[in-house]
Amino acid sequence: MKGFRQFILRGNVVDLAVAVVIGVAFTAVVQSVVKDLLTPLIAAIVGKPDFSALTFTINDSRFAYGDVINAGLSFVAVAAAVYFVMVLPIQRLQARRAPATEPETRECPECLSAIPRLARRCPYCTSHLAQSS
């Protein structure tokens, strides 16, 4: 029981549990936005009042392809929200915090090939190069 308690109380397990709960709540909000705002807006443009009502029947089997359209819209909305609200700001923050580094390659002045920055001779045209610092 002690090992199980240590496993559960580790930071990453608790963080993952919190992320799942927040993700479920966020998904409910996005699905509501898609169902109640985005779908009627697109339906007003296309001319159908509700995608979830779109179905077809083959041999008494009902296929609700409108629900698939709603699920696709929900997925795109969640993916866009995660990208613009979480991924993009974190990438910008990491780019600001990253130290400036020198490029590892430079261009040979004779043949314009990419060569290591500290090279003294071009491996492509064998010309002698000034030492770069």
Q: Within 13 Å, how many C-alpha atoms sit on residue 94's CB side?
A: 6
Domain 2-97: give its CATH architecture: Orthogonal Bundle (1.10)
- The model carries a pTM of 0.50
Count Cβ neighbours within 10 Å for each residue of 111-132 and write b for 16 or more, e otherwise: eeeebeeeeeebeeeeeeeeee
Name the percent of the chain lying above pLDDT 90.
4
Domain ranges of the chain: 2-97, 104-133
Contact in structure between 31 and 76 (CB atoms under 8 Å): no
Q: pLDDT digit string (tens) for 15-65? A: 788 888 888 888 888 778 777 887 777 778 877 656 777 889 999 999 988
107 beta partners: 114
